[in-house]
Amino acid sequence: MPPPSGSPRPEPQKPILSVAGLSIALRGRGRETSLVQDVSFSLSEGRTLCLVGESGCGKSLTSLAIMGLLASPPLEITRGEILFEGRDLRALSARDRADLRGDRMTMIFQEPMTSLNPAFTIGDQIAEAVMRHKGGTAEEARAKALEMLKRVRIPAAEKRLDEYPHQLSGGMRQRIMIAMALVNGPRLLIADEPTTALDVTIQAQILSLVRRLQQETGSAMLLITHDLGVVAEVADEVAVMYAGRIVERASVKDIFDDPQHPYTIGLMGSLPSLSGREERLATIPGSVPAPERMPKGCRFAPRCPFCIPACTEAQPPLLEVAPGHEAACIRAPLEQHVTEAA
Amino acid sequence: MLSFIGRRILIAIPTVILVSIFVFTLQKLLPGDPILVLAGEERDPQVIELLRAKYHLNDPLPIQYLAWAGQALQGNLGVSLRTGVPVMQLIKDKLPVTLQLAAMAMCFALLIGIPAGVMAAVRKGSAWDYGATALALWGLSIPNFFLGILLIFLISVQLNWLPASGYVPLSESVSQNLKTMIMPAFVLGNALAASMMRHTRSAMLGVLRQDYVRTARAKGLLEPRVILKHALRNALIPVVTIGTLLFGELLAGAVLTEQIFTIPGFGKLIVDAVFNRDYSVVQGVVLCTAVGYIALNLLADVLYVVLNPRLRTR
C-alpha cells in the first residue's frame, strides 16, 4: 500500500501500524452480518490519522479490532491483516496481545464517566497499568502515576491520587484516562471520540492536551471522530468511512481543500460555519443503509446526487485520484461533472 | 460515615418498638390460655385467679406491655412458664448453636455460590452456565426437609459416614461437633448457595458489560485479574447486601433443619415453646429474632456504603 503523501511535512519513516483488508462481521444464529469491509490504512510514527464518519460506520469497531478488544463472540475479524511494529497482531497469542495493550498501544474511550472503575482510587488504577507492564514496587508505580497526573495538568494531583472517580468531573476523568493511556509511553495511542462526551470548552482543552503529549512522546495517534472541527485541528491524514468502508483517504489539507467523494463533500456541507449566513445546515438526504441491507454497488449510491446506473452495479474500489489522495468513487474527480452540469 | 450509621440506628429504634408491640399483641391473639396449662388438671377457679393476678394478666393491655417491655430492656424476658428457667438463659444456651449452624451454612453458600455464579457469568451460554443454572434451580426447589431426609438415608444409614442426628457442643469436641453439624449446614445452605449463585451471576453479567471492564482489558490486564478484581469487586456490592439479608432467613430456615437433625438450637426452642404454649419463651424468642433481623438490615445498609465508594461522604 502506498504511504499517504501530499502533506507539506517531510515524509515520515516506516509505518508503525498498517491495516490491510480488515473485515469485521457479526456472527450469530447461523447468520453473518458484515459491519466493516476491506478497511486499509497505515499510520507512521509520530503522525495522526483521523478516522471520520457518522455513528455506526464501523470506525469504533475498527479501533477495537486493532486493540484486540472486540467482543468476540459475536463480533469477529473475518479477514485482513493488522501489522503493528511489523508484527501481525492476529497471529499473536492472547497473552502476547495483552502484553502490548496498555504498554506499546493504548486507548482512550469516549465515555470518561463510565470508563474508570468506581470501586478503586485514581492512583490505584493508573499505578496498576505501570506495575502490569513495567513491574516495580507499588511506591514507584504511585510516583509514576503522580508524575503523569501532573503532566495531564490535574490540579492538586497528590490529593487526587487517593480520590475515587465519582469525585471528579467528566473533563478531569478524561485527563485521568489520558494519563493512564500515556503512562507507559505507548508507540500508538488510539483515541475513540475522546471529546464527544465533554463540554465544548473542555473539548478544546483535552484536544490540545492530547496533541501536546503526543508530540512530547512522539507516539502515533489514531483518532476516531465524527467532528470535522477536531479533524482540521489535529489530523495529518484522514480516512473517511461510510457504512463500514473507507470511501476516501488523503492528507488533511486535501480532504478539506479538494474532497473527492460525494459523501465527504456532503459531510463538509453539513459543517456549520461561523462566518456563513446560511439559513439552515445542509444535510445529506436519506439515511445510512442497515448492515444487512447493503446495496450491491456503491453503498452511498442511494443518497448520492452524482449517482449514475454504473454506481449501483459494483462496489467502486479505492483508487488514487491525485498523488496521495484516494477515493472510492467511479465519478471522481467530480469537478468535471459539476462544470458539465453548470 | 459515622453520622450515616447513627442515622440508621435512630431509624431502627421505632422499628424495634413496633415489632415488640406486634409480638406482644400477637401473643394475646393466639388461641390457648397458658394459665389453663399452668393450673393443671383440676383447673381450680381460685388457683386460676391467683395465677392471673400473679402474672398481672388482669391489668389493661398497655400496662402489661409497658411492664414487659421495661423488663425486656433490662435483659429480663421473664421465665419459662413450663420449666421456670429464665428465657434469657434459654436464648443464651440455644442461640450459639443456631448461629454456628447458620454461619456454616453461609460459608458453604458463599464458597459454592459465588465461584459458580462468576463462572456462569464469564462463560455465559456455555454448558457450565446451563449446568450451574439447572443445579441452582434444583437447589432452590428442593425442600429442606426432603433433602435432609434424603441425606440421612444416603450418608448416615446407607454409607454410615456421618451421624444421623444428635449434637455435640463445640466446647466438648470440635471434630465431633463438625461431624454432627456438617450435614445440617449443607441442607440449610443449599437453597442459599443457589440464590447466591443466581445473584452473583446476574450482577457479574451486568458488570462485565461496563466500560471500566473494557478499560481494564485495554490496560493489558489478564482475564483473571480483570474478572476477579475489576468486575467481581463491583458485582459483590449487591451480593453482599443480599447475602446479609438472607442470613436472617437462614435463622428462620433453621427451625426445620434443627427438627430433622434434632439439634437443640433456637429453632427447636421456638417450636417446643409454641407447642407448650410457653408464652414468655415464644415472646422472647420472636423478639430476639426480630431484633436480629433489624440488626442484619442495618448491617446490610452499612456494608453497602462501605463497599460502594460512591455512597461514602467525602
Per the domain annotation, does B32 fall within a domain?
Answer: no
pLDDT, position A131: 92
In this complex, is the C-beta atom of B125 within 8 Å of any C-beta atom belonging to chain A?
no
pLDDT, position B313: 58
Q: Do residues A304 and A288 touch, judged by C-beta distance below 8 A? A: no
Residue B210 CA to residue B300 CA, distance in Å, equals 25
For residue B192 the three cell numbers come to: 442459599
Residues 6+ apart with CB under 8 A from B144: B187, B188, B190, B191, B253, B256, B257, B260
Residue A272: band (very low, low, confident or very high) from pLDDT cuts 50, 70, 90:
low
The count of domains in chain B is 1
Residues 6+ apart with CB under 8 A from A291: A26, A33, A34, A35, A243, A244
Please give the average pLDDT of every successive group of 10 residues along chain B, which has 314 residues. Answer: 83 89 81 72 81 81 87 85 86 90 92 93 89 88 86 86 80 85 90 92 93 93 92 91 86 84 86 83 86 88 84 63
Nearest CA in chain A to B234: A119
B249-269 pLDDT tens trace: 888 778 888 888 888 888 888
Taking alpha carbons only, the member of B194, B165, B193, B159 closest to residue B181 is B165
Distance from CA of B3 to the nearest CA of A (A): 20
Per the domain annotation, does B67 fall within a domain?
Answer: no
pLDDT, position A3: 47
pLDDT, position A336: 63
DSSP per-residue letters across A40-78 = EEEEETT-EEEEE--TTSSHHHHHHHHHT---TTTEEEE
Residue A342, pLDDT above cutoff 50: no
Residues 6+ apart with CB under 8 A from B198: B117, B133, B136, B140
pLDDT, position B173: 83
Nearest CA in chain B to A189: B218
The domain spanning residue B216 has which CATH number?
Answer: 1.10.3720.10
- Restricting to A residues 104-133, those with a Cβ less than 8 Å away from any Cβ of B are 106-107, 109, 111, 114-120, 128-129, 132-133
Residue A281, pLDDT above cutoff 80: no
Total beta-carbon pairs less than 8 A apart between chain A and chain B: 73
Taking alpha carbons only, the member of A70, A60, A78 closest to residue A22 is A78
pLDDT, position A5: 46
Residue A130: band (very low, low, confident or very high) from pLDDT cuts 50, 70, 90:
very high
Inter-chain residue contact B218 with A69, CB threshold 8 Å:
yes
pLDDT, position B52: 82
Q: Do residues A177 and A109 touch, judged by C-beta distance below 8 A? A: yes
pLDDT, position A335: 66
Range of the domain at B140: 87-311
Nearest CA in chain B to A182: B219
Distance from CA of A129 to the nearest CA of B (A): 6
pLDDT, position B67: 86
Per the domain annotation, does B37 fall within a domain?
Answer: no
pLDDT, position A11: 52
Inter-chain residue contact A177 with B216, CB threshold 8 Å:
no
Q: Do residues B113 and B193 touch, judged by C-beta distance below 8 A? A: yes
Residue A273, pLDDT above cutoff 60: no
Residue A215: band (very low, low, confident or very high) from pLDDT cuts 50, 70, 90:
confident
Write the CA distances from A231 to A54, A182, A208, A226, integer angstroms.
13, 21, 12, 8
Residues 6+ apart with CB under 8 A from A106: A180, A181, A182, A184, A186, A188, A189, A190, B218, B219
Residue A320: band (very low, low, confident or very high) from pLDDT cuts 50, 70, 90:
confident
Per the domain annotation, does B163 fall within a domain?
Answer: yes
ipTM of this complex: 0.85
Per the domain annotation, does B226 fall within a domain?
Answer: yes
**Cβ of A50: how many Cβ atoms within 10 Å?**
26
Residues 6+ apart with CB under 8 A from A125: A116, A117, A176, A180
pLDDT, position B305: 84
Inter-chain residue contact B220 with A115, CB threshold 8 Å:
no
Inter-chain residue contact B234 with A118, CB threshold 8 Å:
yes
pLDDT, position A275: 57
Distance from CA of B312 to the nearest CA of A (A): 10
Inter-chain residue contact B211 with A114, CB threshold 8 Å:
yes
- On the question of a cis peptide bond just before residue A73, with omega within 30 degrees of 0, the verdict is yes
A301-317 pLDDT tens trace: 888 888 888 888 888 88
Taking alpha carbons only, the member of A284, A263, A278, A267 closest to residue A334 is A263
Distance from CA of A130 to the nearest CA of B (A): 9
Residue A7, pLDDT above cutoff 50: no
Residue B216 CA to residue B219 CA, distance in Å, equals 5
Nearest CA in chain B to A166: B310
Residue B273 CA to residue B82 CA, distance in Å, equals 9
Q: Assign A169 to helix, strand or coil.
A: coil
Q: Assign A187 to helix, strand or coil.
A: coil
Find where cell 471529546 sits.
Answer: A195
Nearest CA in chain A to B309: A119
Write the CA distances from B251 to A278, B275, B288, integer angstroms.
74, 19, 11
Per the domain annotation, does B223 fall within a domain?
Answer: yes
Write the CA distances from B166 to A163, B163, B192, integer angstroms.
54, 7, 24
- By CB atoms closer than 10 A (0-12, 13-18, 19+), residue B69 is middle
Give me the sign of the Cα torsion angle A262, A267, A269, A275: negative
Residue B32 CA to residue B50 CA, distance in Å, equals 18
Residue A110 CA to residue A226 CA, distance in Å, equals 12
Distance from CA of B295 to the nearest CA of A (A): 26
A218-270 pLDDT tens trace: 899 999 988 888 888 888 999 999 988 999 999 989 888 888 888 888 888 76
- Restricting to A residues 90-109, those with a Cβ less than 8 Å away from any Cβ of B are 95, 98-103, 106-107, 109
Partner residue facing B219 (CB), from A114, A166, A180: A180
Residue A1, pLDDT above cutoff 80: no
| Residues of chain A contacting residue B309, judged by C-beta atoms under 8 Å apart | 118-119, 164, 166
Inter-chain residue contact B212 with A177, CB threshold 8 Å:
no
Which of B124, B214, B215, B229 is most worth mutating to test chain A (most A CB atoms within 10 A of its CB)?
B215
Residue B69 CA to residue A91 CA, distance in Å, equals 75
Query: In chain A, what are the domains?
Result: 15-104+191-273+281-341 (3.40.50.300), 115-185 (no CATH)
